[in-house]
Structure 1
Amino acid sequence: MSERKWAEYICGRLHKYLQSIDESLAADTEQSLMYAHEIYEYTLDCGSQVRDKKYKTDILIYQWIDQEKWIPRVVIETKYKSVNTHDSITYSKKSRDHKSLHPYLRYGVFLGNMPKPEVPVRLISHGLEFDFMVAWDSDKGSKSDWNRFVTVIESEIYASQKLEGILKKSVSAPSILHKGLSV
């Protein structure tokens, strides 16, 4: 199985799961998400010529607000069978870039069919912009693997929704905000 086919398989399962818990949630592969606006010039009235820049995401989880509007919630970058330092640095930068325009966005890496079901140390040390990292030693994972994965995804969706509420001031700002670590 190729990395892309594996991402499509995981995304299909994930989309079905998300729809079963909340019909406003969806997941798709190969979706482009804006990470920057390039400004080429300004006019006297402060208008500008702008070009949007986008990166493709391996898996994008988003939430429909109405028939025409949606909010990106979670990006999952996938690697299959191996991950190297360059991948870690590149994906971490993509995470930072995307979060600069979507500060409530959650971002993670999902490794499939790895030699061991362990997140490599190089990914931990170079992936500082990731909110979660998951590693399986198979394509499909066990029932326990899947349940742990969707639990993480649900918590990331919830975190995105809470952050968005705080940033839009639709919920009260907290007196404490703690981004925990679970292993």
Structure 2
Amino acid sequence: MKETPLPGRLFRHGAHFDFMLSWKSYEPEEYEWNALREIVQEEIDASKKLEEMIFNSRNKMREKFFYGSQALALEP
């Protein structure tokens, strides 16, 4: 999308996206790759926690959580 930022309609209609990004060109720059790697790693970690919660919900020795949150991270 070159210098164009993420459009506002993505935020209005994209409530169920895990993440959104826009690279400046077809070939991403190093900082864009690094951002993608970090996002994917965070998504993998979150998925593992959800899997643990879902499949061990009846185990008395399970890890017990007291809150859940989906953070909004924006990078200029």
TM-score interval, smaller chain: 0.7 to 0.9
Which has the larger share of helix? 2
More relative contact order, 1 or 2 (CA 8 Å, 6+ apart): 2
Which structure has the larger Rg?
1
Q: By how many angstroms is 1:117 displaced? A: 4.7
TM value normalised by structure 1: 0.36
Q: Take 1:165 and 1:117, find their aligned partners in 2: how far apart are those partners?
A: 39
Q: Which residue of 2 aligns with 1:150?
A: 37
Unaligned ranges ≥5, structure 2: none
Q: Take 1:173 and 1:163, find their aligned partners in 2: how far apart are those partners?
A: 12
Change (3 A) 1:174 1:117: farther
Runs ≥4 in structure 1, deviation > 6 angstroms? none
Q: Which residue of 1 aligns with 2:52?
A: 165
Which has the larger share of strand? 1
What amino acid is aligned across from residue 164 of structure 1 in structure 2?
A: E
Q: How many residues align?
A: 70
Q: Which residue of 1 aligns with 2:19?
A: 132
Kept in 2: contact 1:118–1:136 (CA 8 A): no
What amino acid is aligned across from residue 71 of structure 2 in structure 1?
A: G
Q: By how many angstroms is 1:137 displaced? A: 1.6
Kept in 2: contact 1:117–1:136 (CA 8 A): no
RMSD of aligned alpha carbons: 1.5
2:28 alignment partner, one of 121, 124, 141: 141
Query: 1:11-22 counterparts in 2 under 5 A?
Result: none
Q: By how many angstroms is 1:116 displaced? A: 2.5
Q: Which residue of 1 aligns with 2:73?
A: 182
Unaligned ranges ≥5, structure 1: 1-113
**SS of the residue 2:20 aligns to:** strand
Change (3 A) 1:152 1:118: same
